[in-house]
Amino acid sequence: MGLLLFAWPASRAGDGFESDFLTHFTSLHQTLHGTWWSYTVLYYPLRLVTIGTSEPQLIIQAGFMLLGAIAAAKAMLTAALLQNEGYRPAGSAVTAVALGTVLALPLPFWTDTFYVGTIPPNSLGSATQPLANALAIPAIWALCAWFDQPDRRRLALVAGAGLLSALAKPALTPAWIVGTAALMAWMTWRGPLRARQAVASWIALAGLPIATLLINLQTSYGAGAQREVRLRPLGELSPTLPIDLLRSWAFPVAVATVLAVHTRRGRASAGDRSGSTRWSLRTIAPAWLVLGAATVQSQMFWDTDRNGVPIGYGDMNWGAMAAASGLYAVSAMALLRVPPRMRAVPFAILAVQTLAALVHLHNWVQTGSYF
């Protein structure tokens, strides 16, 4: 599925086709020239598979193959995590493909635009975001699992997954730092952790991501760099933002709703097959917390050049998409906590979002515009 998603646009990439694929692929050697650090680890495997050539067309072809491999690996990783939490093999495969495809929920009678203004869990036009989305899933999953059972083994798992997410792309990192700090404060207040434990845990979770962020600030935004982070004018906030966010997160909102209803009824699910983590509305709270921080980040800041001109969507906006990718995955896991009949509506919404994404992909390839 991942190979198809990136092979299809690849056949049309070029003049008049909106994406940043070609820009990133052809800037490979320029980005890595004379430096040991890249803001995204995507460039290192791309250089590895294109070693010995500087021919742009060969690099572009290798780039699309790499993105297809990342999408396929994301689906397999997501399916493995879903099986670990109770899904059967067939169900995990179908759900993983859907989670790796969905965009926003279409509301044809509400708005004429489908993609603009939304923050879905997947990206079609970015070369670097698929890797960030893929590695956000294990990071958010591990964070929620540790929150459910805060032991050292799970803390080490979260720390490693958080570092990989930060290396994939710095977009999620500021929200990860803020979100985990807020989580530590909550856990200290509610009692699972003492203040000293909370500080030590936060250093373990956020220390290395902070280091990567500081390096990125110096190399990409520091003295002599061509980018800055500035406050976003309040006038830029869209009046349709609430409905756009609801469309972006329709599936996890539906899951949270049925979890809340199920919890209020106080029933134990006879169909619950989850094993390693007792998924509940409380368990997925860290995913919502990180997403909230990432959304505030996307609405308050933006990347600009030295003249203050915004640079596309920028890393300040992409973080919310990575956080949404993780939220969708843990929401699918938590859905096993409710009886089968209560899963119908959330899964139906997920199916609609998946079909809408495929229609949008078709239109994008035909017209060359994902707006």
Q: Would you kindly state where each structural domain of the chain is located, as residue ranges?
A: 2-367
Task: Answer yes or no: pTM beyond 0.85.
Answer: yes
Neighbours of 284 (CB within 10 A): 27
Q: What is the 3-state secondary structure (H, E, C) of 203-242?
A: HHHHHHHHHHHHHHHHHHCCCCCCEEEEECCHHHCCCCHH
pLDDT of residue 219: 76
pLDDT of residue 268: 45
pLDDT of residue 294: 94
CA distance 292 to 9: 31
CA distance 110 to 133: 28
Spans of the chain below 50 pLDDT: 1-3, 268-275
Scanning the structure block, which residue is given the tokens 């290395």? Answer: 208
According to DSSP, residue 305 is labeled: E
Please check whether residue 364 is in contact with residue 10, taking contact to mean a CB–CB distance below 8 angstroms.
no
CA distance 80 to 26: 34
According to DSSP, residue 254 is labeled: H
CA distance 59 to 288: 38
According to DSSP, residue 229 is labeled: E
**Nearest-CA neighbor of 338 among 236, 264, 276?**
264
Please check whether residue 330 is in contact with residue 284, taking contact to mean a CB–CB distance below 8 angstroms.
yes
pLDDT of residue 17: 55
CA distance 239 to 327: 24
pLDDT of residue 110: 63
